[in-house]
A and B are shown apart, each in its own frame.
Chain A
Amino acid sequence: MTDLQLWISALEIGSFYGLIALCYLIVYQGALVFNFAIGGYAMMAGIATSWLATEQGAPVWLAMLFGVVLCVGSSVLTEMVVVRPMVRRSGHDELPKLIAVTAVLFALEQGAGAVFGRGSMPGQWLFDIEPIEMGEAVLDGAALQMFVVTGVVFALVAFWLNATRAGRMLRAAGDNPVAAQVLGLPTDRIRLTAFFVAGVIAAIAGIVFALKSGITFRSALPWSIKGFLAAVIGGTGGAWAPLVGGLLLGAIEVFVPFYLGGASVDYVILLLAAVFFVVRPQGFFARRIRV
């Protein structure tokens, strides 16, 4: 585990999972839903950007704007059209909401496949970043961009959650939705805000991560499930918790195949999830509330 190149790769994948997990956390705090469609939003942003830039020849910034708008739009629409009626109809029952967001994920996946094609597409650069040599390892532009973006996004979200009015309302709604409603907090608006912010982060994550190994419409489900895992491992204890879960998962995904062979990573992750969910379902960081 001393190979710097592997560590760079682990950090890059881990940062991406951390960002997706952060989306889960924000939506969970605002709406008490594990939104499995998040991988779908990120995939949508990445694939729409690549499609507009490579197949339609649009300028990259315009393509990225299109990807972000599509992604945030899907997220906000999910809240307005799917989650809101579900909450009205079945309250905080878990299964109907889970099935509904899974249907959104399926529709996003198939929609992206139908509109943007089923082939793999390369990611898009906004700036050309020269790779940096670090001894025997090389820090390429994609990884550097991912690190910077992850740092900035997490710092902003931490500030937003802890120091702003909207962030505090979000946490209040997540801690106790009934009490929040009774106190007159605008729970509908809070939920919408959560989905909006998660959509923006998913868009950024999807577009930046597409640079690493391209993107297809099939990326949606694996991203969703890995992001969920990272979110659960990290826990809901704070804004930085998802990053810890993501980095751990990223390290597993890079080092396990390196030492134990390619197929083993799926077995190890299955085992990890099964054990972790039973032993510590609240994650590494959980907020303790004294009642």
Chain B
Amino acid sequence: MNALVRRAPLRSRGSVLPQILWAVAGMIAVVLWVGGSGYRQDLMVLSCSYALVGLGMYIPFIMGGSLSAAYSAYAAIGAYTVCIVAVRTSWPLPMAWILGPLVACAVAVLLGMATRRLSGNYLVAVTLLFGFAFQTWTIDASGITGGSSGMLGIRKLEIAGWQVSRQGLFVGSLVVVCSVAFLIERLRLSPWGIALRGKREIPLAVESTGIPVPALELVSLGFGAAVAALGGALFSGYNGGIHPETFGLNILFLAVFMPLVGGVGTPWGAVVGAVLAVQFSLNFPSSIAKSGSFAFAVAVMLVLLLAPKGVLGYLALLRDRMRRRRSDGSAAAGGKQS
């Protein structure tokens, strides 16, 4: 994990255009794959929703090195905000899509302040218990959240008088996911991102350069939670409802493992991991479909043990090796550097 984090900044500065081209190609491929199939469209929107949760996790966890386990709650906050605004108010729905991430951000910052003296296992335990407690609250506070039956049949998203269809939401979610991943990649290479990644390795060194580490951590937690909440909002907006079990503890496992499976060197790894997670757990051949989540769990173990760089990390390695072979062939003489 560390090798990739250390490798990056200067070298990949110039990769903006290829990144955009890859993203556009990926989006076109997905749209072509979906075709007119409603089922495949559902799968892809779910992947986008998971990808946003994974991207949210990427910022404090992979970049900042602090594992907050409340991501099920953040995604649920985004999802519930859309539903609650749609059912209990007459506010325009786009507001809910902004409000949810803001609320999640505020909750994450408050939780981060309350747990600022905790790290490692203790932080995981408390944030996990927060996730439990939040799920209990969504079932308990039935006057607000619809209780154990959740909220269903919410009104459709309308932007400036134009009602967004499910197809529209699908294409929109692809664009949002790619934009967020692109943004986080830029952020990773920015001075702020470098400070955050430095904090992960040696907090003291970052503190001694004059950057307040606790504030850095809070901002990363808040930003991550907002992105995850957007994923939750996408889920409930697309499916027209939410259930307390939707963002249960399973999503938490996925949120941690998606970036690892996809590759920790870039936020695009979280996107790849989300697509893999959904394909594994829902779109497996029917003979082994029952054990799809188990297959993903096994894949996680294999990646952790044998391939800690993840899918994208290995693709990059392959690309570098091929490039080197090509350049070795053309310029064998002056290529030696020490």
Q: What residues make up the interface of A, taking CB atoms closer than 8 Å to B? A: 34, 81-82, 85, 94-96, 98-100, 102-104, 106-107, 109-111, 113-114, 221-222, 225, 228-229, 232, 262-263, 266-267, 269-270, 273-274, 277-278, 281
Contacts and interface: CB of A to CB of B under 8 A. Distances in A.
Contact of B129 (A103, A107, A109, A270): A270
Interface string B104-143: 0000000000110110111011101110110011011000
A67 B122 CA distance: 31
Given A34-B121, A114-B290, A274-B114, A266 B136 contact: yes
- By secondary structure, the B interface counts as helix
Interface in B293-325: 293-294, 296-298, 300-301, 304-305
Given A94-B120, A228-B121, A229-B125, A103 B140 contact: no
Nearest to A272: B129
B125 A103 contact: no
A228 B129 contact: no
A121 to B, nearest CB: 17
A277 B293 CA distance: 33
User: A-B pairs with the 9 shortest C-beta distances?
Assistant: A114-B291, A263-B140, A107-B297, A110-B294, A114-B294, A266-B136, A266-B133, A270-B129, A94-B120
Interface stretch (B90-98, B187-195, B220-228, B249-257): B249-257
B184 interface: no
Interface string B1-26: 10000000000000000000000000
Given A98-B121, A277-B118, A225 B304 contact: no
Contacts of A278: 117-118
Contact of A100 (B129, B298, B304): B304
B36 to A, nearest CB: 32
A232 B122 contact: yes
A173 B291 CA distance: 39
B305 A85 contact: yes
Contacts of A114: 290-291, 293-294
A266 B297 contact: no
B67 interface: yes
A266 B298 CA distance: 31
- By secondary structure, the A interface counts as helix
B286 to A, nearest CB: 14
B260 interface: yes
B240 to A, nearest CB: 26
Contacts of B203: none
Interface in B133-178: 133, 136-137, 139-140
Contacts of A109: 297
B302 to A, nearest CB: 10
A222 B248 CA distance: 12
A95 B65 contact: yes
Contacts of A266: 129, 132-133, 136
A39 to B, nearest CB: 12
A274 B120 contact: no
B297 A111 contact: yes
A277 B139 contact: no
B249 A111 contact: no
Contact of B304 (A34, A103, A274, A277): A103
Contact of B128 (A99, A104, A111, A225): A225
Contact of B301 (A104, A225, A274, A281): A104
Given A34-B121, A102-B253, A263 B136 contact: yes
7 contacts: A94-B120, A94-B121, A99-B256, A225-B132, A270-B126, A270-B130, A274-B115
A107 B295 CA distance: 9
A221 B65 CA distance: 23
